[in-house]
């Protein structure tokens, strides 16, 4: 049958399937009715699904003009160029575009802090607060002054653990 007609009936073919198995190419040409009876997804439904999946990205792309004049003084990259490429030009761009990137991350992920799982299992713990470290150091000083060395050793170990956690660097 010519490719313009359905392989099963004489109606015009509107669904064209190409399958390659083991290096051999086979083509099937079907009308809408025969394609539906064989449960072949129609292009219009699949295309509509595909286009619908692009809507969130398109919405974000159209909001890229929020900071049209913002330019990095170090590398010269504009915010519009960053939005188009999705990559920064230099380390300074993190500072220059911080507000816009924060808003963008919030729209994409619903927040700006990672709250998922980590490799090896378990949830990611929030980093220790600066106040927590300062409080532990003050308690350590108090324990040393009171000559309570067991408590001081426990607090010392606690401070070490807090400093080893992500974001738990030494407090000023």
pLDDT for position 155: 93
What is the predicted pLDDT for the residue at 146? 93
Strand partners for 18: 27
Q: How many domains does the chain have?
A: 3
**Residues spanned by the domain of 138:** 130-164
Residue reference for tokens 């109606």: 11
Which residues of the chain fall short of a pLDDT of 50? 1-2, 64-66, 171-172
Same domain, 34 and 60: no
pLDDT at 23: 85
The reply to whether 155 and 137 lie within a common domain is yes
- Angle of helix 130-145 relative to helix 149-164, nearest 10 degrees? 160
Q: Are residues 71 and 47 in the same domain?
A: no
Q: Please report whether residue 99 resides in a domain.
A: yes
Same domain, 49 and 71: no
- pLDDT tens for each residue of 67-79: 557 889 999 999 8
DSSP secondary structure code for residue 41 in this structure: P
Number of Cβ within 10 Å of residue 8's Cβ equals 17
Q: Are residues 69 and 96 in the same domain?
A: yes
* 68-83 core/surface letters (b: 16 or more CB in 10 A; e: else): eebbbeeeebbbbbbb
The whole-number pLDDT of residue 46 equals 67
Would 19 be classed as within a structural domain?
A: yes
Nearest to 95 by CA among 114, 77, 68: 77
At 78, list the tokens.
């504009």
| Assigned domain for 94 exists | yes
In a domain, 121, yes or no: no
- For the segment 21-58, what is each residue's pLDDT rounded down to a tens digit? 888 898 888 888 888 888 876 656 666 677 777 776 66
pLDDT on residue 132: 85
pTM of this prediction exceeds 0.85: no
Given 53, 80, 100, the domain boundary residue is 53
């Amino acid at each position: 049958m010519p490719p313009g007609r359905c392989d099963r009936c004489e109606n015009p073919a509107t669904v064209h399937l190409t399958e390659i198995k083991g290096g051999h190419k086979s083509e099937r040409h079907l009308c809408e009715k025969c394609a539906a009876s064989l449960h072949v997804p129609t292009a219009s439904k699949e295309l509509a699904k595909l286009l619908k999946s692009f809507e969130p990205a398109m919405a974000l792309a159209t909001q890229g003009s929020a900071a049209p004049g913002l330019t990095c003084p170090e590398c010269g990259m504009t915010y519009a160029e960053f939005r188009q490429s999705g990559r920064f030009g230099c380390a300074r761009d993190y500072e220059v575009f911080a507000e816009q990137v924060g808003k963008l991350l919030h729209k994409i992920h619903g927040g700006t802090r990672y709250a998922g799982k980590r490799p090896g299992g378990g949830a990611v713990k929030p980093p220790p607060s600066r106040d927590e470290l300062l409080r532990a150091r003050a308690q350590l000083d108090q324990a040393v002054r009171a000559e309570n060395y067991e408590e001081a050793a426990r607090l010392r170990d606690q401070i070490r653990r807090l400093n080893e956690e992500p974001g738990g660097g030494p407090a000023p």
